[in-house]
Structure 1
């Protein structure tokens, strides 16, 4: 008696197939423009605030104040992502950002006005990010193309950190801060135009227009969704510690500004390399299989700082840790399966807001730990506590995976 025929495994998606989708190309190009706009505006605003106050504290505050409103935008405004057509939300967010930055360029705008406008950008950001991520599932489906699409947007975000800060610094050598901010107004307007004319109009996901609280409660009542959100959030709180302490660590090593730049670049470069390899070389099943092992390993390289490495040895440790963040490709697929379609926008908004907020908390705690324990000890502590936390999250994730396991069997993955 012959064996029953096996279901054919789905064809592995490639980054090229994702970029072949016309709507995704518009979303991708808009993401590049908006990311560069955000980064250049942050640099220009920081310099502008310093020029006005001559206070390093106020200049740093211009950066830090951008983290706190994420929690507001991600909770109070989360339902916007599902209650209104996605294209309208995305275009409106870009126009609001352009308006806020344009007001920053008005001569005579005081420090209070500038910081308030910076908060406005941060409130809008998680709504925009969550709506865009939910739109990817509409444009690419909720399978492997969606995972690779999200991966490409993360790669752009990490690469923008490397390119944007360099371009911003170069721009400020030839233009005053307010003129540099005018350029970012143009990038937000161009992003809005790409999204308006490059994507299809789709109806709102939610049938009613109730406030966001019932939807948020419904999401958080699902144990699987709660666990996956924590898996996205908590490792990020520990992973930002070396970045937050890069300046004092470079000073400890006597590495100067060049060493500081290398330390700041190491984690993003490792992240991009890990995402590209996992996305291009591994299939969906393999990416899901390695997700939890990579989660448990990604912060282990921080333990190497206990050996007092020099600059040449510190960089590979950071690169290796950054590459371990490729576990997020497997998490992306689990998350989109776990969330009901009508709540996808607010789920992505909540995910984005929580991620930015927890990174801000991590940076603050890193500063406190570095002050009292020393820089190296703080990084090692992040490695130890973070690895233990990741191990517990992996166990919780495994205990709630019944639905995903069933999905993999049904689809032959």
Structure 2
């Protein structure tokens, strides 16, 4: 049964979602958290380089925003359903605020700075998974949930486009440690918004949290591995998870190799900067279009064709195109990301409520980790094969992988019973 917010969202795009008071608080907190992380990344990189003079240590300061992600997401995922969402979210924000505050202290050594950044990254997947799962409580699990998730992703993509530029400007007027003070303040404000602006709800994994709780929920709470088996043990849910995880492994290849490709075709740094913006701009545009103009049924129908075609524009790399063609190809890949909105609905429908926090945490963990793996493999392949052929190979292999996953999802869906055109189980 669709909620009032779901029906309004279907008619009015993103606007009705912002009319939900709790969501406005969650959205504002998300914006502050993202900006805080961006400022921390650029400030800490500059601070470590000035302290050590080492490019390696400076790069490590940036990489520590990603390296602990897999470990934190795997070990902390049970907490997403074991404790009330508001408590988990505010605790994570307060921990990050404390880490940033210690970074501000003049006597904090470089080793401690790196450890504190790793601690912030360690809890990031738990925070993100819990927040994404809590959107189901705030907005329901229908179309409003899908649009809320889309808005959160667009904020993150926009931060990639604007955040580092604004952070660089900020460091022209503030010392890096002072800028880290703004990060601490941002996390504190985020914690306050979540604590005061969202309702206290019981943990999803507690007794009586839902009709589906029981043996599966109990098993999922015993250990991280047991929870992972509970989430990935369902055939349809496993196929959906892999559809989120694996395509980005191939999508990041042209991004990871843009610098050497630009050098190979004689493009300058200005052209490189423009090309680096193309994929995120396409992604934001695609999501805005799908969320604003299409209803749930139309988005569901687009999942398979857009997912199957999303990597095909990269085949133009076979002729070593110039900057305009590369821009068009990357924009097209980003636009095809609109299929994620339909995939989001299918995913939340497939996940038992008592495992939603665990599932969302693992989903984000796998996504971030495998994107890093994709970048590393792309760089390794480019040591032996021309860059443009690496991109073509990624497009071809990735398309085959997506087609196999779509076939598996179709088979698993048929085995689980008939469904409506939006992905809901038909009644």
TM-score range with shorter-chain normalisation?
Answer: over 0.9
SS at match of 1:35: helix
Q: Which residue of 2 aligns with 1:126?
A: 125
For 1:290-329, list aligned pairs within 5 A: 290-329=302-341
- Counterpart Cα distance in 2 of 1:114 and 1:190: 22
Mean Cα deviation higher: 24-33 or 398-407: 398-407
Judged with a 3 Å threshold, the aligned counterparts in structure 2 of structure 1 residues 412 and 43 are, in CA distance, closer, same or farther, namely same
1:10 offset after TM fit, Å?
A: 5.8
1:163-189 CA-to-partner distances (Å, cap 9, x unmatched) read 111111111122221111111111111
Contact 2:249 2:374 in 1 (8 A): yes
Contact 2:41 2:65 in 1 (8 A): no
Number of aligned residue pairs: 405
Q: Is residue 406 from structure 1 mapped to residue 422 from structure 2 by the alignment?
A: no
1:352 offset after TM fit, Å?
A: 0.6
Q: Which residue of 2 aligns with 1:161?
A: 160
1:32-65 CA-to-partner distances (Å, cap 9, x unmatched) read 1101111111111111222122222222222223
- Counterpart Cα distance in 1 of 2:381 and 2:66: 20
Q: TM-score, normalised by structure 2?
A: 0.91
SS at match of 2:111: helix
Q: Which residue of 2 aligns with 1:248?
A: 260
Q: Is residue 271 from structure 1 mapped to residue 283 from structure 2 by the alignment?
A: yes
Q: Is residue 229 from structure 1 mapped to residue 241 from structure 2 by the alignment?
A: yes
- Counterpart Cα distance in 1 of 2:104 and 2:125: 24
Judged with a 3 Å threshold, the aligned counterparts in structure 2 of structure 1 residues 103 and 405 are, in CA distance, closer, same or farther, namely farther
Mean Cα deviation higher: 157-166 or 205-214: 205-214
Mean Cα deviation higher: 140-149 or 58-67: 58-67
Q: Which runs of 5+ in 1 are unaligned?
A: 1-8
1:308-350 CA-to-partner distances (Å, cap 9, x unmatched) read 1111221111000011111111110111011100000010000
1:364-409 CA-to-partner distances (Å, cap 9, x unmatched) read 1111122221322222221111111111111111111234742548
- Counterpart Cα distance in 2 of 1:179 and 1:21: 35
1:151-172 CA-to-partner distances (Å, cap 9, x unmatched) read 1111111011111111111111
Contact 1:70 1:125 in 2 (8 A): yes
Q: Which residue of 2 aligns with 1:40?
A: 39
- Counterpart Cα distance in 1 of 2:128 and 2:66: 14
Q: Which residue of 2 aligns with 1:5?
A: none
Contact 1:337 1:404 in 2 (8 A): no
Mean Cα deviation higher: 114-123 or 61-70: 61-70
- Counterpart Cα distance in 1 of 2:255 and 2:44: 21
Judged with a 3 Å threshold, the aligned counterparts in structure 2 of structure 1 residues 222 and 140 are, in CA distance, closer, same or farther, namely same
SS at match of 2:394: helix
Q: TM-score, normalised by structure 1?
A: 0.94
1:66 offset after TM fit, Å?
A: 2.4
1:43-97 CA-to-partner distances (Å, cap 9, x unmatched) read 1111122212222222222222322211111111101111111001101111111
- Counterpart Cα distance in 2 of 1:151 and 1:405: 27
- Counterpart Cα distance in 2 of 1:340 and 1:32: 28
- Counterpart Cα distance in 1 of 2:162 and 2:193: 21
Contact 2:300 2:421 in 1 (8 A): no
Instruction: Give me the CA root mean square deviation.
Output: 1.9
- Counterpart Cα distance in 1 of 2:169 and 2:262: 22
